[in-house]
Amino acid sequence: GDSVTQMEGPVTLSEEAFLTINCTYTATGYPSLFWYVQYPGEGLQLLLKATKADDKGSNKGFEATYRKETTSFHLEKGSVQVSDSAVYFCALISSGSARQLTFGSGTQLTVLP
């Protein structure tokens, strides 16, 4: 079945540091890939997405590139802010599934001033 593996957290960084959160996946066909963010006490918000190989999703300074050869979709940001502190979820929807969004386990990010 489909699965998403995310780097274990928690991750603690200083403000303006470079962020990478690793994500790899297993899926049939050509899945669509997503990063969601959950701020404290809130629901999940779509951060960015990519629907085919070599697509780059980007939003709010975050980027992730769909790498089919390595089945990866790593999240990066060049300079994090305190306001980026949240839980980040990598997710996928397989092309052949009943559109079930399958999540990774989430990575807690804390950015210190």
Region from 18-26, 31-39, 60-68, 77-85 binding another protein, contact rule CB under 8 A? 31-39
Q: Which residue of 43, 69, 70, 113 would you call a contact of another protein, by CB under 8 A?
A: 43
Distance CA 28, CA 17 (A): 35
The interface region with another protein, picked from 12-20, 21-29, 69-77, 89-97 by CB under 8 A, is 89-97
The pair phi, psi for residue 94, each rounded to 5°, is -75, 150
Q: By CB under 8 A, name the one of 91, 94, 109, 111 that touches another protein.
A: 91
Q: Classify each residue of 72-90 as buried b or exposed e, where b means 16 or more C-beta atoms within 10 Å of its C-beta.
A: bbbbebeebeeebbbbbbb
**Within 10 A of 36 (CB to CB), how many other CB atoms are there?**
21
What Cα–Cα distance (Å) separates residue 88 from each residue in 22, 30, 95, 97, 98?
A: 11, 22, 23, 23, 24
For the bound state, the minimum distance from the C-beta of residue 59 to another protein, rounded and expressed in Å, comes to 12
Which range touches another protein (CB under 8 A), out of 11-19, 41-49, 61-69, 71-79? 41-49
Question: Residue numbers of the site for another protein (CB under 8 A)?
Answer: 32, 34, 36, 38, 42-46, 49, 51, 87, 89, 91, 93, 98-103, 105-106, 108
